[in-house]
Every structure is written in structure tokens, then in C-alpha cells.
Amino acid sequence: MNELAYVDMSNNPFDPTDFPPWFSSLQSLTTLILENIQIQGQLGIFFFELVQRMKNNNISGNLDMGSNPSSQLQLVDLQNNSIAAFPIVRQYGNPVCNEGTLGSQYCSITDQQHLNSSPPYSTPRENCIPPSCVSKMTSSPTCICSYPFTLDLIFNDPTFSDLENSTFFEAFQTALQSTFRNMELPVDSVSLRNLSWDTWNNLVITVDIFPRGQKKFNNSEVLVIFSVLTSRSFQPPPVFGGLYYLGSYPPFGRQSQKLNIGVVIGATIVGFALFLLLIVIGIYALGQRKIARIASRRSDPFALWVPNSHAGGVPQLQGAKYFSFDEVKQYTRNFSSVNVIGSGGYGKASCVYRGILPGGQLVAIKRAVHGSMQGGLEFKTEIELLSRVHHRNLVSLVGFCFDQGEQMLVYEYIANGTLKTILSGISGIRLWWSRRIKIGLGVARGLHYLHELADPPIIHRDIKSSNILLDDRLNAKVADFGLSKSLPALGNIHITTQVKGTMGYLDPEYYMTQQLTEKSDVYSFGVLLLELLTGRSPIERGKYIVREVKEAMDANKPFCGLQNLIDPNMGTVSSSSAASVERFVHVALRCVEEHRLNRPAMSAVVKEMEKIMETLGLDPAAESESSCSGEGGRTFPPVHPYSTESLASFSAGTFS
């Protein structure tokens, strides 16, 4: 604890407690925030050696700051307490200090306005004299006039409070410039200014990014810089905590150009000549296009397809947009490796790119690799299926590309990536127990929609943690419908098809009989629940998680005897939460029953998952509306105390 510098324990339901004296033993402590936690009693002199806030408690007695408070003391916030008296009132700026009747220690500690007179950090010049810039140009730290890309970066969990400390901000600038340099972006320098705290105690930094070798960034360069800052490509120093972006594009200035009459006349003549040439080229191209269209009609089912047309052969789409290959190429900056965010999961092979549509919308573009093409009719069937699937727990299809021999699907961009990545700990996001239950409920609702509300019903056929995406509020969205199948008609209980899926999640009965039903998805979902509980892959070091849980299961013990299998990364799971864990395990094991007739329908699973949430004091109806922004550098609302409801109250009759 000697390295601990920043403590915030606010808004916790602790029992009424005297001010803990052990804080005085923390050698590096500089900031202490203990708001609304029922602290009571009198504060010692040590308390005034820290930057602190302790409002909304029951602090009483007289305050004594001593004769030598810390020079770092900038704020004492003791609103809404029971303080009886404060004997010393600082008199900086009053005549009484000039008369010398008070000790110097009382007149040297100034009021809050004077304490803040030391300006926050701003980027200095690099040993150069700034020139006088024209128009709306700004002088960079390297004393070059240009139009910077300006935006505000907001950090919601910094571990320091000193805005004058140049060490933190110089490290921030170095990390940001290194990121741009590694991305080979035309950035000359970065300047920080207007450092401040907003009303929610978030750190706000205005950042000016100056172009290199040009007066301003073009639109595509601005979009790439924006994408770098919002896609985790830039990792600020850990002391800055979680980052999110708030800003707008800068009003780039325009330089006036004076053209003489000769230039205008010459340009007009050249333009007219080019116009005639384009007409000739256009006539020739139309003839060639007609020949190519006749040839393509024989083999390509989309040859007659004109987007937004309702002629025969047009797929029945509901909102999905057609993109040309050139458009997608532009959105991904020529499929730059910088924009690669994933691979696999579509056809035999694929690559997933981040793209930015003209309106600024971020999208994920899944591109099939040449040589792994599906047939045109199968691709048409797939996009028809995806275009009619609309649910808050399913990834939305924005559009598609079927052009120049390419097959691409354009999805909404999901900020926090896959559940598999988060469970592995790579992302730095920590999932507490209540959040894992909510994720399981979100997946269950998505599958319930596919099985029972879609017309015709849809079997996903590849439910696994790498196909579950989490948005910026950590709500689950089922993705990747490349293996999905529609039941051909009402009344069909199964379809016979080639076995496809992922080992570890694959329904053994489907594997043996090749008979696919919605209960195959239920089995995969049960494996996913066990993965949420344990944080382990289904098959790890030759061990199968389903078999391990069944062998360790003991219904007569707390947590069903599975304490050693519970993922330690979710934090300590208190004994009061045993009921929710036991019910969660019971649902998972019912889903992975060997025979499909013994597995529950997803509608029954959704109801049981909602009941588990209720045992935690959470509202299942607010699952996707909860105000949260992540864990590990983010803040979730406090979880309500767990219910003591036991497994005995669980009704197996819920599952039919």
C-alpha cells in the first residue's frame, strides 16, 4: 500500500464508521475522496495534508488544520456534515495580513481562487519563435502555421488531480505522437491545452493535431485520425484511465486564389477538349458494358439486379443498402492493414475491416477472401436472411457488396469487440458477476427471437464467445450468421444437413444424426454460460468444460461446489450470491443435456435468466438500457445486494 496515491471509496453502503486512522500510514497518498459513506467523528490534522472531498457524511466536532498544512492542499469539501466550529479562517488578501497580526502560516495559505492561479499544463514551443499566422491558421509547437484538427478528449477515471504536473502530460503527448508515427500518418506535432475538470470530475483535454508538409488535413486523413482515437489503437498512459471522444471537425479555412484571365481561358479550352474525349470514351464503354452484361446474365443471378429496383430476381431486402466495390474500398482506405479488426468466420476465410461511411458512421466490413466464394444464390439467400433480422441483441446488417467478384457484408460497428477477447483479459475490461448474467440474458433473448419470433424460424448453428459482440454499454449482440439455416416450413422439427459448427460448442446429437434443430443452438448456449462462469474455453488442455462441471457438481454445497472453477477475474463472489450462481449453473446444465428433448426452449431460458437477475435486485427489463460504460477504466452503477433465494425455490417445471 506504500505506492497507493489516489483513493476514491465514495457512494458505498458502509456501516457508520469513524475516520479510519490507518490512512495516515499510506506514505504516497495525495488524494482522498470519501463522499456519502457514513464517515463520522472528528478529523485529525493528518486529514489536511491531502487533496480531499468528504461531503454528505456525519463528520462532527471542531476542525483543526494545524499550523503547517500541506503545500499540496487545494480543496477541502465538507458539505452536508455536522461540523460544530472551524476556528481558523484564512485571510489572504485582507488588510489584517498586511498588519502582521496573524501568523504567516495563516496568511500564506490563500483562498481557492488564488490557489488555482498556477495555470494548468499546456504544450510549450520547441525552442522557436512563433510566426504571425494569417486567417484562421494556428502556430504549432514547432512554430509552423497550419489548420490543426482540434478535438476534446475526455478521461473518466484519471488517477491524479494535479493539472500542473508536466510529467503526465508530456508522456501523453509522446504516446499520441508515437501512435501517429507508427500509423505513418502525416502528423507534425500535437499540442495540449485547456486542461480542466467537468461537472462529473472527468478530465477534459483539448488536443490540436497539426499536419506535416501541408496546410491542412484532407477529409480522409481526418477520418483516419478520428478512427485511431476511437478504436483503441491509441493507448494513453494508465494514469489517465478510460478514454472516450467528444469533438467535431475543425472549420478548415480556405485560401483565396487569384487567377488571371489567361489561366481561365486556358483551363476552359482544356476542359472542353476533355469533355469531348469523355463523350467518346463513354460511348465506347457503354458498348462494352452491354456485351459484358449479356455474358454475365448466363452465370450471375445478380446480373439483372438493379439496386432499389423491384423487378424480378431482386432479393427481398428490408433496409440493407447496396455498396459498390469502389465505395467500400474508399471507406476502408483501400483495405488498409491499419483498419483490420478481425478475421475468419465468413465462408472459408475472411478479413474484417473498420470503415467509415460518408456520414461518419463506423461500420465493420467482412470481406470474403478470393477463392472462398459462395455461389451467388447462396449469398443472395444470406443477405435476405440478415436483412429481415432486427433485434437489439442481434448485430444489424447495414448493407452488402456484390461487385467485381467480391462478396462483402457491412455490419454496424460494435465498439468492445468479442466476448471471447474480453474473457481472455486482453482488452482490460473486467466483467463482474451481475454483468455476466446480463450478457447471458442478452444472448438468450437474441436466440429466442431467431427461434420463435422470426418467420420462418432461424437456427444460428455457430453460437460461441467469438460470435458474441459487446457494444459500448456491454450489451450482448449475436453476430456471424454465415452458417445459419432457416426452417423451410412450419411444423418441421428438424432439417437434415451437413454438420457445421465449432468443436466444444457443437451439439453431440446433431453431430451423430445430422438432424439440425433449434435445440442445437440451446446446447451451444449452455456451453457459453459455462464459459461465462469459468472464463475458460470449452476445450482447454484436453479438458471439456461440460464434463468438468458435471464431475465437480455437488448440489448440497454452496455454489454447487464449483468455487475452484469460477473465473477469478470477475472478482470475489460473495456467499450471498450463491443462489444466483446455483440457478445459473442449473440453467447451463439443462441446456447441455445429451438428448435434445430434455433441453429447454429459449423462451423458458429467457424467463429463468430474468429470475436470476431479480435475485440480484436488478430489473431484467432494463438490461439493454442500463447506464454504464464498461469496466476496467469504466464505471458501472452499484450492484444491489444479492437475494438469499435458494436453489430449492427453482422450478424445473419452467423448462418444457
Q: What is the pLDDT of residues 522-571, one digit of tens each?
A: 999 999 999 999 999 999 888 899 999 999 988 888 888 888 899 988 87
Q: Which residue has the higher pLDDT, 580 or 263?
A: 580
**Is the model's pLDDT at 95 over the cut of 70?**
no
CATH number of 419-654: 1.10.510.10
Instruction: With beta carbons less than 8 A apart as the criterion, state whether 216 and 162 touch.
Output: no
The dihedral formed by the CA atoms of 138, 143, 146 and 152, expressed in degrees to the nearest 10: -50
Catalytic site positions: 462
| 290 annotated as belonging to a binding site for a ligand | no
Instruction: With beta carbons less than 8 A apart as the criterion, state whether 34 and 59 touch.
Output: no
- pTM for the model: 0.51
**3-class DSSP state for residue 211?**
strand
Least confident of 4-18, 431-445, 568-582, 589-603: 568-582
Task: For residue 50, count CB atoms less than 10 angstroms from its CB and return exposed for 0-12, middle for 13-18, buried for 19 or more.
Answer: buried
Query: Please, which residues have CB within 8 angstroms of residue 285's CB and are 6 or more apart in sequence?
Result: none
CA-CA distance, 60 to 62, in Å (whole number)? 7
Calculate the average pLDDT of the chain. Answer: 77
Fold of 321-412: Phosphorylase Kinase; domain 1 (3.30.200)
pLDDT tier at 506, thresholds 50, 70, 90: very high
Highest mean pLDDT among 15-19, 117-121, 532-536: 532-536
Least confident of 140-154, 271-285, 352-366, 500-514: 271-285
Which residue, among 313, 316, 297, has the nearest Cα to 305 in the 3D structure?
313
Mean pLDDT over 598-621 rounds to: 91
pLDDT tier at 627, thresholds 50, 70, 90: very low
**3-class DSSP state for residue 273?**
helix
Query: Please, which residues have CB within 8 angstroms of residue 150's CB and are 6 or more apart in sequence?
Result: 206, 207, 208, 209, 247, 250
Sheet strands side by side (includes 82-85): 17-18, 39-41, 58-62, 82-85
**Is the model's pLDDT at 273 over the cut of 70?**
yes
pLDDT at 161: 78
pLDDT at 251: 39
For the chain, percent of residues with pLDDT exceeding 90: 27
The dihedral formed by the CA atoms of 369, 372, 374 and 375, expressed in degrees to the nearest 10: 110
Taking only the tens place, the pLDDT of each residue in 352-385 is: 899 999 988 999 998 876 555 455 555 676 687 7
pLDDT tier at 291, thresholds 50, 70, 90: low
Instruction: With beta carbons less than 8 A apart as the criterion, state whether 409 and 481 touch.
Output: no
Other beta carbons less than 10 A from residue 360's beta carbon? 9
Instruction: With beta carbons less than 8 A apart as the criterion, state whether 522 and 446 touch.
Output: no
Q: Return the CATH class of domain 138-246.
A: alpha beta
Residue reference for cell 476556528: 87
Q: How far is CA 451 from CA 393, 517, 519, 589, in A?
A: 13, 10, 9, 20
Q: Which three cell numbers stand for residue 477?
A: 449482440
**Is the model's pLDDT at 90 over the cut of 60?**
no
The length of the chain is 656
Helix ranges, 68-134 (H): 95-98, 104-108, 112-115
**3-class DSSP state for residue 590?**
helix
pLDDT at 598: 95
Other beta carbons less than 10 A from residue 256's beta carbon? 6
